[in-house]
Amino acid sequence: MVDHADVIVIGSGALGSATAFYLATRGARNVILVEKHDIASQTSPRAAGMVSCVRSTDLMTQLVRRAVERIQHFTEETGQPLDWVHSGSLKVARRSQDIAVIERDLDRGRRLGLDVESVSPQEAHRLNPFLEPDGVVAVMRVGDDMYFNPAQVAAGFARAATTRGATLLAHTTVTRILIERGAVTGVDTDKGPIRAPVVVDAAGAWTRQVAEASGIRIPLVPTMQQLFITQPLPGARADLPMVRIMDAAVYMRPCDDGFLWGVYEEDPRFFDMSALGERFEIKDMALDSAVLWRYANDVNRQLPILLTTPVREHRGGIPTMTADGHHIVGPAPAARGFFFASGCNVAGLSISPALGEALAAWVLDGAPPMDLTPMSPARFASTSWSENELRQQARWQYRHFYGAA
């Protein structure tokens, strides 16, 4: 067992593996990626793999654009496979109050040089014949949007990190962050301590548990998200634009000659990871198909195939929500050398190449390559939420993922 490192990254999901890869690529010599389960096996491979370029802030839009470049050059850069499809997307409003949101998105998209346009409900139906125009009042087409195979990203980054010299320690659990006189000195694991001056907490749903074991509080809420993949159906071409229905917060994209679809429901299930026990893995989580069927009914006029096409896969994971809907990336004020890469807000996979790259630069250069203040853990220093308030805010952020009014 190795006993020292320059940087320890906890968690080999998309955020941890991307950070480890860019650290190693930037020349950090002794990077250790510690993973308590199989490599890249928890929430990341269960995602939808959709990339949405028009985001609610300029910063997120710029980061996602950077991530898109990285995804398109993933194989070139990492030597690992990644299947992706540049399908574009259709963001659909069914209520008059959401038209203004679409107009704001169009303005931001145009200002930032994205391929966006307003299309009529009939044109949207022509672009994706599985979207019916009934009840649709406005549609934004985003040409830049894409999707990819979610199972390949974290695993690819983790493998590529080792080819650049990083060490992977699977089936090793970090039990505590070691802190002396306000600075990180390493971690304790179930296989012994590892000394290091820098530790990155990218433990996904367990981020909070890992930090809190050493008295560092971080306000994020592990939140269930699940999806269905349908059986193949005639005409479900891989290049059909993805569909997002704003007020219902339902998404759908092509997948293996059928469709993959899911929802950001009104009342998501939250988790206290400590209560689930040491051995819990995401695959053990009980899924709830009733949630998905409820929203299939809600969007039946626009996406009737969701109710009529048999399901061949039901899966879910536990991303983390924050109170303000921004990720949590950067140094923790509580301990020098301790960084977070978490608070993914159900959008951590698609943005992981850009965040991993930025965080690696932050660790090595002492500053991020762009202003990441809105994501900094320091923003919580002067705020204290009760668990109830935090969950209420997180619920609102989750349900309003597509910015519906």
13 binds ligand FAD (CB under 6 A): yes
Give the C-alpha separation, 13 to 117, whole Å: 34
Burial 356-365 (b: 16+ CB within 10 A, else e): bbbbbbbbbe
Give the C-alpha separation, 325 to 394, whole Å: 7
92 binds ligand FAD (CB under 6 A): no
Contact letters for ligand FAD, residues 168-187 (x by CB under 6 A): -----xx-------------
User: Which CB, 140 or 227, lies closer to ligand FAD?
Assistant: 227
220 binds ligand FAD (CB under 6 A): no
Stretch that binds ligand FAD, among 35-43, 107-115, 116-124, 368-376 (CB under 6 A): 35-43
In whole angstroms, how far apart are CA 53 and each of 124, 193, 206, 242, 270? 18, 41, 28, 12, 27
Q: DSSP letter for 117, please.
A: E
Contact 43, 65 (CB under 8 A): no
Contact letters for ligand FAD, residues 128-167 (x by CB under 6 A): --------------------------x-------------
Among 63, 101, 202, 296, binds ligand FAD (CB under 6 A): 202
Residue 3: half-sphere exposure toward Cβ, Cα within 13 Å = 2
Nearest Cα neighbor of 402 from 355, 354, 347, 349 is: 347
Q: At what angle do helices 348-365 and 58-72 cross, to 10 degrees?
A: 100
Stretch that binds ligand FAD, among 107-115, 222-230, 234-242, 374-382 (CB under 6 A): 222-230
203 binds ligand FAD (CB under 6 A): yes
Contact 169, 32 (CB under 8 A): yes
Give the C-alpha separation, 26 to 163, whole Å: 13
End-to-end, the C-alpha distance of the chain in Å comes to 53
210 binds ligand FAD (CB under 6 A): yes
Q: Is 364 helix (H, G, I), strand (E, B) or coil?
A: helix
User: Which CB, 14 or 291, lies closer to ligand FAD?
Assistant: 14
User: Which CB, 89 or 350, lies closer to ligand FAD?
Assistant: 350
Stretch that binds ligand FAD, among 53-61, 160-168, 339-347, 393-401 (CB under 6 A): 339-347
Among 19, 44, 230, 322, binds ligand FAD (CB under 6 A): 44
Give the C-alpha separation, 106 to 87, whole Å: 18
User: Which CB, 116 or 205, lies closer to ligand FAD?
Assistant: 205
- How many residues lie near ligand FAD (CB under 6 A)? 43
34 binds ligand FAD (CB under 6 A): yes
Stretch that binds ligand FAD, among 54-62, 113-121, 200-208, 361-369 (CB under 6 A): 200-208
Among 225, 230, 302, 309, binds ligand FAD (CB under 6 A): 225
In angstroms, give the least distance from the CB of 335 to ligand FAD.
17
Residue 391: half-sphere exposure toward Cβ, Cα within 13 Å = 13
358 binds ligand FAD (CB under 6 A): no
Q: DSSP letter for 310, please.
A: P
102 binds ligand FAD (CB under 6 A): no
67 binds ligand FAD (CB under 6 A): no
16 binds ligand FAD (CB under 6 A): yes
Contacts of 292 (CB under 8 A, 6+ apart): 226, 227, 228, 261, 262, 263, 314
Query: Could you list the residues that contact ligand FAD (CB under 6 A)?
Result: 10-16, 34-37, 41-44, 46-50, 154, 173-174, 202-206, 210, 225-227, 262, 316-317, 319, 342, 344, 346-350
